[in-house]
Amino acid sequence: EAQVTQNPRYLITVTGKKLTVTCSQNMNHEYMSWYRQDPGLGLRQIYYSMNVEVTDKGDVPEGYKVSRKEKRNFPLILESPSPNQTSLYFCASSLSSGYYEQYFGPGTRLTVT
Amino acid sequence: GQQLNQSPQSMFIQEGEDVSMNCTSSSIFNTWLWYKQDPGEGPVLLIALYKAGELTSNGRLTAQFGITRKDSFLNISASIPSDVGIYFCAGSSNTGKLIFGQGTTLQVKP
């Protein structure tokens, strides 16, 4: 089944403790992206990757890192999480950067205390 | 930066009623997409629009790409309880980025 998977689905952590949220797609998509969803703000893009080893900042990149060493994986790293990063995070992928029909993962709900 | 204004923010309607929502942009888009998010799930693509003036249907859903290229509309006819969720518009101007609206929360009373 074609899908985008994220792990973990739920995470509660403390300020400053480094964490990684994994994202994997099995559709051979070139383009992958991370969003955060906050009430009243919709989905805001954190980082995106047009292909392996190519990443770029989205609208809200501060406090996040990403890497794209393989086509299928695009992990999101929070080196020192803070409470304002408490949010619902989505990974998405599409065939290429010029193909805008993005497929979303199920989401990761992160709480930072 | 580019902004999308989606309205209404929320709707509470009776089953069987038709629904309309829209998005307006401060700049021109070349692609408009409409997504639906069910509770606890990721957004799922409903309709994609690629040409100004384009009108596309997907079952009871119809979406239009405004001729000014700065707006888009989504209509749902004869709503049913499973239409409940958050509807997002999204637009792109070929920069490789997708900009999302704030979402319209739809509730349907049986």
Distance, CA of B45 to CA of A42 (rounded, Å): 15
Comparing alpha-carbon positions, the chain A residue that sits nearest to B99 is: A44
pLDDT tens digits, residue range A40-58? 888 999 999 999 989 999 8
What percent of chain A shows pLDDT beyond 90? 83
Q: Is B107 helix (H, G, I), strand (E, B) or coil?
A: strand
Q: Report the pLDDT averaged over residues A93-110.
A: 87
pLDDT tens digits, residue range B55-85? 999 999 999 999 999 999 999 999 999 999 9
Contacts of B21 in chain A (CB under 8 A): none
The pLDDT confidence band at residue B37, using thresholds 50, 70 and 90, is very high
Q: Do A100 and B33 touch (CB under 8 A)?
A: yes
Distance, CA of A40 to CA of B68 (rounded, Å): 26
> Would the pLDDT of A99 be above 80?
no
> Would the pLDDT of A70 be above 90?
yes
Q: Out of B6, B45, B97, whose CB is closest to A101? A: B45
What percent of chain A shows pLDDT beyond 70? 98
What is the pLDDT of chain A when averaged over all its residues? 94
> Would the pLDDT of B104 be above 60?
yes
Which pLDDT value is given to residue B39?
87
> Would the pLDDT of B1 be above 60?
no
Q: Do A43 and B94 touch (CB under 8 A)?
A: no
Residue A74: DSSP 8-state: -
Residues in chain A, how many?
A: 113
Q: Report the pLDDT averaged over residues B94-99.
A: 75
Which pLDDT value is given to residue B3?
73
Q: Do B97 and A43 touch (CB under 8 A)?
A: no
Q: Report the pLDDT averaged over residues A19-42.
A: 94
- Which one of A4, A100, A109 makes the best mutation probe of the B interface by having the most chain B beta carbons within 10 Å? A100
Distances (CA, A) of A109 to A13, A90, B48: 11, 9, 28
